[in-house]
């Protein structure tokens, strides 16, 4: 994989876009607007938002694994402050925090 692909690098702090628009969206509602660190990039994949309507899914989009602290995601999370939740998010749903 080309190391130069993708806007973000492991350790970058990113915010998930707080968007709510019609269409097929793979970014779960509960994680929108949340901020945390990039763990790694999985690679580039056909865009499901385009595939969902019978289109070709191009251009491919970088997909990242992002680790969020559970206490930042859930208001009443009381198990352990170090617990993390990992979510796969496409690049066009992220911005540098």
Which of 18, 21, 59, 79 is close enough to bind other proteins by CB under 8 A? Answer: 21
Closest CA to 13 of 35, 40, 43, 41: 35
Sort 66 into a burial class: Cβ within 10 Å, 0-12 / 13-18 / 19+.
Answer: buried
Smallest distance, other proteins to C-beta of residue 31, A? 8
Nearer to other proteins (CB atom), residue 11 or residue 23: 23
Query: Judged by CB under 8 A, does residue 24 bind other proteins?
Result: yes
72 phi and psi angles, rounded to 5 deg: -90, -20
Query: Judged by CB under 8 A, does residue 56 bind other proteins?
Result: no
Residues forming the site for other proteins (CB under 8 A): 20-25, 28-31, 48, 51-54, 73-74
């Amino acid at each position: 994989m080309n190391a130069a692909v993708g806007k973000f690098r492991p350790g970058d702090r990113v915010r998930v876009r707080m968007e709510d628009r019609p269409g097929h969206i793979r970014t779960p509602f509960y994680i929108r607007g949340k901020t945390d660190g990039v763990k790694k990039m999985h690679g580039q994949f056909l865009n499901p938002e385009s595939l969902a309507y019978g289109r070709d899914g191009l251009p491919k989009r970088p997909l990242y694994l992002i680790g969020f602290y559970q206490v930042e995601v859930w208001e009443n999370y009381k198990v352990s402050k170090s617990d993390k939740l990992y979510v796969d998010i496409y690049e066009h749903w992220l911005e540098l925090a």
